[in-house]
Amino acid sequence: MSPRGVATPDVRERLFAAAERVVERGGPGALTSRAITTEAGCSKGLLHAHFAGLDEFVAELCLDRFARTAAKAQALSGLAGQGTVARNLNAVALALFDSAGPALSGLAISRPATTLRIREALEGGAPGLTAIQEAITGYLMAERRLGRVAETVDPGTVALAIVGTAHHLLMASWPDTPDPRSSMTRLVDALVDG
C-alpha cells in the first residue's frame, strides 16, 4: 500500500490495469473506487485525487484503450507487404477485446455520465472506432496496390465490416458467453481471403 503523500508512479495506468482486473474477475458490477484502489494497492483516495469520480475514470479508461487500439491500427500502414493481411488485421481487431473490452463496454454504456463524456471526447477528436476504421481502410488500400488484396475488395467496406462487427461483439458479449475473438478472426479471414 502506498503511504499518504508519497508519489505513485504511472498512476493512471496502474489504476486502469487494476480496474480491468476487477472487471475481468467480477464483472462490471464489481467495479467501485474502493475495489480499484485495493486491487492497485494504493490509498483509497488516489482515484479521486486524479479523477472527478468513477464516471470520469471509466470514460478515461475507455478512451485510453481506444487510443491504444487506434495507434495499433495506424501502425498497420508500416506493415503493408509484411506478414499476412489477415494476421495484421486480426492484431488490430482483437486488440479491442483485450483489457476486459466487452465488460468495460458494458460498464461504459450502463453509466450515462460516462457515455456522455466518451461521446464528447470522440466528437472533440479523441481517437475511437472511426480512427481505427480509417486506418484499416488505408492499410487495405496499400495492400491492394501491392497485389496482396484482390481488386474486388472494397477497403472502406471491409474496414466498416471489421469495426462494426467488433463494436457489435463488444456490446453483445458478457460473462458466460462465447469468446468473441474466434468470430472476429473468422470474419477477418473471410473478408480478406474469401
Give the pLDDT confidence of 50-74 residue by residue, as tens digits. 999 999 999 999 899 888 889 999 9
Indicate if the pLDDT at residue 121 is higher than 70: yes
Global pTM reads 0.83
For residues 6 and 65, what is the distance between their CA atoms, to the nearest angstrom? 27
Residue 3 per-residue DSSP state: P
Does residue 176 register a pLDDT over 80?
Answer: no
Rounded Cα distance, 182 and 54, in Å:
32
Predicted local distance difference test score (pLDDT) of residue 99: 58
Task: Calculate the alpha carbon distances from 143 to 32, 154, 157, 162, 192 in Å.
Answer: 45, 12, 15, 16, 10
